[in-house]
Amino acid sequence: LCTTNSAVAVLIDGAPIIVEIPGEGRTMPSVVSLLAPPAKAAGAGGNDDGEEKEEEGLGWDAVVGREAIALESSAAASSSADDDDGESSSSAAAVRSKTYRHVKRVIGTGGISAARNAGIVPHLLISSSVAAAAGASAASFAHASGGGGGGRKKGKKGKGNRKKKRLKKKSSSSPGGLPSLLKQVEDASTDPALLSGPPPPPADDDDDGTSSSSPPLPPERLSSIVLRRLFDAAEQESYARTGRRTRVTRAVVGVPAYFHDAQREATLRACRMAGVEKSRLLIEPEAAALAYGVGRDRMAAQGGERGGGGD
């Protein structure tokens, strides 16, 4: 589960094998589009067991990966056509969607830490007070790290002043002007990051598309949709190899080494939302080291089998 692209592997004979994700390849863009299902006529029945599945609790169909990117491009083109023609486009009226990307940047964050990603993570909700605090924090850090120009460069007094400034800055904030680690974890609980929800789907054929937005979505809800697609790909690979339909019940998810406790717990929540209750986290440097060790051991074993028997 990565910020830009995600991948999934399964264990085959004790070795991890990257799974080809249908329609994507070995990696899949971590992009999610939520689109309204067709309006139901009065008295219409339930689902038609189609390929697209309505996400529980959202009332919207979810599209992931390259298909979501294509839908986003289509929506942008439709919007441009509407502006040029001065009237609604039939394609825009038929498909109302909202696309989310880079969600991992704000999973398990809140307050200033989340607000600093406003220019990167689309549809991120930020209060005016938090936005002002984030701007002040960034400006303060830029001033402190930019150098005063006229400060003393020699002498014990100048060195002492610089040391005191460094200690003060270290105690109040993290690198990059972020709040302290304890404050980041606290903000994740008291002021968690949220993304604006898409407009609610039409209730019937008479809906005019002017209804208000859905409740905000936590980042882990959207990450769970990406994870579910990855788990589905793993299950399809298992069926192709064994002929038996199985469900993913346990998973190991890679996370960055810098993730704090709140970010780790949010990732675990995303796994549970995706239907996998038993999951463990593995920091990415350790995952890389383990992968190297597994590959090296296999190569050594294969080399011994091929070269056995002496010179």
Instruction: Mean pLDDT check: name the lowest of 66-70, 179-183, 205-209.
Output: 205-209
Q: Which residues of 239-270 are buried (b: 16+ CB within 10 A; e: fewer)?
A: eeeeeeeeebeebebbbeeebeebbbbbbbbb
Q: Mean pLDDT: which of 73-82, 146-155, 237-246 is highest?
A: 237-246
Tell me, yes or no, if the pTM score tops 0.85: no
* Residue 71: predicted pLDDT: 85
What is the mean predicted confidence (pLDDT) over 162-172?
Answer: 51
Residue with the larger pLDDT of the pair 74 and 228: 228
Residue with the larger pLDDT of the pair 247 and 139: 247
Residue with the larger pLDDT of the pair 20 and 211: 20
Q: How confident is the model at residue 224 (pLDDT cuts 50, 70, 90)?
A: very high
Residue 215 DSSP label: P
Mean pLDDT of the chain: 75
Residue with the larger pLDDT of the pair 177 and 86: 177
| Of 187, 195, 180, 188, the residue nearest 266 (C-alpha) | 188
* Residue 49: predicted pLDDT: 40
What's the pLDDT tens digit per position in 181-202?
999 999 999 999 999 987 665 5
Phi, psi at 266, each rounded to 5°? -65, -35
State the DSSP H helix or E strand holding residue 240, giving kind and residue range, or none if neither. helix 219-242
